[in-house]
Structure 1
C-alpha cells in the first residue's frame, strides 16, 4: 500500500503541491485551536507531501508558537521552535529542521494542536505513515483532548489502512478540500 501511495504522489506536479499547500494553510487556520498564544506541533513537508511551508509561516504570523520535529538516531522525535522560513538546518535523512535548540521529546505535550504527516488515513482515524513509528511515539505523549490531524491529499482520506497495536489514531484529516473529522 505504501508503494502504491508513494507512486501516486510522485505523479503530482510541483505546482499542484504548492496550490494544495496554500489551501491547506487556509483550512488549518479555521481550526479553533489556532489562535494567538497557542502552540501547534507541526512538521516540515518533504518531497511530494502536501506542502506545509505556507501553514508554518501563517501560524507564526498569527502569533502561534510552532514546534517542529528533529529526527533522533532512534527515530524518535525531539522538538524545536520554528523561527521563520530562513532558520533551517539539514537534519538526519536530509530533512529540514529548525535551527533552534532542542526542547526534548516531551515538548509535543505542550501543543494545543498536532499536525502530522501520513500517506493515508481510514475513516476511523488510523493513519498510515512511513513505517518508522516516529509519530506514533510522539502522539503517545499528547493528551487525549488535544486535536491531532494528518495532512494529506484528498484521495488519501477514507482508505482502509493496516493497523498495528502501537498505532495512534488521529482526530481529523486536512486536505486542500478542507478538514474531515474522523470517527
Structure 2
C-alpha cells in the first residue's frame, strides 16, 4: 500500500476517534477485559502502560489495578527525534508537562532501554489493529522505533495494542510495511485476543 493510501486509512480512523467525543470512557470495561491476562503474570512483574487521553480507551483503572497487584509500572514519555523513554508510575505520582503541550508525564528520572527491555508486558496505544497483529499508530513512529530497539536488545515482553472494539479488524484490515512492528495481542473493552489468533480470554 502506498504512503498516501496508508495516510487515508489513518485519517479514517482518526475521524472515527473524533466522533466518539466524550462517550469513549471505557475504564472499568477495559480493566475487566484485561484481568484474565493480568492473572497470568508473576507478581511482581514489570509492565509498560501509557496514560490515555481524549477518546483513547481509558487506561486509568487498568493502571490502578496493576499497581494494586504489586507490579512495577513504567509509562512511555516522548523524547526528541521520535524516541521514547520511560518513567515510573504510581497512583500518587505527580504529573508534569511533557515534550508536547497538553500531554503530561510522571515526574521522576527518565529510564532508558536498559530498564525498558526488562518489561514483561507492554500495553501500547493504536488507532486500529488487525487479527494478524498489524498495528496502526498515529503516524509518529515512536512505538515502531522503540519496539525495534526493544526486540534487538533482547526484550521478550508481550506487546498488546489497546483499541476500541470497532478498531479491531480482521487480518489484512490494517496496512503494514516492513517498518511497522507487529503486536502479540489486542485488548478491547470486550476482551483480550492473542494474535495471530491462537487463544481468546473474555
Question: Could you state the TM-score of these two structures normalised by the residue count of structure 2?
Answer: 0.83
Q: Does residue 76 in structure 1 map to residue 87 in structure 2?
A: no
Distance 1:2 1:85, change over 3 A: farther
Residue 158 of structure 1 corresponds to: 169
Offset of residue 144 of structure 1: 6.4
Residue 124 of structure 2 corresponds to: 116
Instruction: Tell me which structure has the larger Cα radius of gyration.
Output: 2
Aligned match of 1:10 in 6, 15, 18?
Answer: 18
The 8 Å contact of residues 34 and 40 in structure 1, kept in 2 or not, is answered as no
Could you list the runs of 4 or more consecutive aligned residues of structure 1 that deviate by over 6 angstroms after TM superposition? none
Aligned match of 2:188 in 160, 175, 178?
Answer: 175
Question: RMSD of the TM alignment (CA)?
Answer: 1.7
CA distance in 2, matches of 1:95, 1:85: 18
Report 1:1-183 matches (<5 A): 1-14=9-22, 16-18=23-25, 20-31=26-37, 32-93=39-100, 94-140=102-148, 141-142=150-151, 143=154, 145-158=156-169, 160-183=173-196
Which structure 2 segments of 5+ residues have no match? 1-8, 197-202
Question: Could you state the TM-score of these two structures normalised by the residue count of structure 1?
Answer: 0.91
The 8 Å contact of residues 93 and 106 in structure 2, kept in 1 or not, is answered as no
Distance 1:144 1:36, change over 3 A: closer
Which structure 1 segments of 5+ residues have no match? none
The 8 Å contact of residues 151 and 174 in structure 1, kept in 2 or not, is answered as yes
